[in-house]
Amino acid sequence: MLWNNFLNKNKIFVFNEERDKKENKAVKIDQLELLLRQCTEHALTPSQLADLFPLARICPENVLLSRGMSQEEAQLRLEDKIKFRRKQRLLKLRNKTTKPFNLNILQNPFQLILLISIIIYFLILLFSLFYDFEKENGINKEFNITTSNKQQLHQLQHFFTQPIISSIISVLLIQILFLFGIFVLSKIFNPFKYLINLNSEKLKKSSKRLCEYYIAQRGGVEVKISEKEILPGDLIKLKSGQRVPVDCRILHVLKEPFLVNQSCILQQHQNLGENNIIIELISKTSPNHLNVLEARNIAFAGFKCLNGEAFSSIKT
């Protein structure tokens, strides 16, 4: 009967956990819908984009004549971007260094029992040593210890000095020391694990990059910049064989058709046809009722350019 009640409680707990997961998923979907409503670049005309990005200096009549931000403005904004990234890294490092010790090892009830038992053993050992020191030096009167307390201490000392009890406590002590040693070693080798994970993340990022440099319009001159130097409002050219570095708004298609592979969003493990993965992007302004994901003038980060060439503006 008790076992059935235990199983029923576990089933209820699992059901509540699944319900919490569904609620969290619903909240995330609502947040995503709110973010999609806030993205309006796909429904803006070139003149509205020029007002939104004044430093880009977009020419509404002919976007190909847009000058883009100057080299001095780009340098100042890039320095601010680097400072902001450094602050974020410092905050992450401070959070990692100031994070308290991981006490998950003490969440197990059996381990807590072991720790409590060894603490009690040490306390009793100290009492017994103190009692022996008093007996040898004859200073019982100074501390005013009664005979009943002496008898209790003597009984406790006699109990814990028995061979069986002392062997059990020694085994418990060895187990506690073993667990503490594992805890210390995990903290010692934690920085090495962090470095290994950091290197693996860098390798993954570098393997995803098909092209590190892009052609940008800076002060009316085409310059080659790296992905790290791309700023919001920049005007860049996307060519076949490149990967879209950040979310872009297509201003003009230079070579038609401009085809991209959107498998990074649709995920290749699903049973999707080739027509759904490869789409053609255009520069025409989308209607307001369309979602940003349904618009065909936005190239999201991670899209692979398969054919054509386009002139685009970096979104915020």
Asked if the structure places residue 231 within a domain, the reply is yes
Same domain, 48 and 139: no
Same domain, 146 and 178: yes
Query: Can you spell out the DSSP letters for 218-261?
Result: ETTEEEEEEGGG--TT-EEEEETT-B--S-EEEEEEEEEEEEEE
The rounded percent of the chain whose pLDDT value lies above 90 is: 5
Asked if the structure places residue 164 within a domain, the reply is yes
H or E segment to which residue 123 belongs: helix 109-137
Give residue 108's domain range.
104-207
Domain final residue pick, 207, 238, 260? 207
Q: Which tens digits make up the pLDDT trace of 150-172?
A: 565 555 556 555 666 666 667 76
Per-residue pLDDT, averaged over 201-226, amounts to 74
Highest mean pLDDT among 29-33, 165-169, 261-265, 267-271: 261-265
| Phi, psi dihedrals of residue 315, rounded to the nearest 5° | -80, 165
Same domain, 177 and 238: no
Asked if the structure places residue 153 within a domain, the reply is yes
Q: Which tens digits make up the pLDDT trace of 90-140?
A: 787 776 554 444 455 555 666 666 667 667 767 766 666 665 555 555 544
124 burial level (CB within 10 Å; 0-12, 13-18, 19+):
middle
Asked if the structure places residue 171 within a domain, the reply is yes
Per-residue pLDDT, averaged over 266-287, amounts to 68
Same domain, 272 and 299: yes
**pLDDT for residue 110:** 63
Number of domains in the chain: 2
- 282 versus 194: which is more confidently predicted? 282
Among the listed residues 168, 190, 192, 172, the one whose alpha carbon sits nearest the alpha carbon of residue 180: 172
Pick from 57-61, 187-191, 270-274: least confident: 270-274
Domain final residue pick, 207, 226, 245? 207
Asked if the structure places residue 86 within a domain, the reply is no
Q: What are the distances in angstroms from CA 274 to CA 259, 264, 292, 307, 310?
A: 12, 13, 21, 15, 22
Same domain, 109 and 199: yes
Asked if the structure places residue 262 within a domain, the reply is yes
Asked if the structure places residue 81 within a domain, the reply is no
Same domain, 146 and 229: no
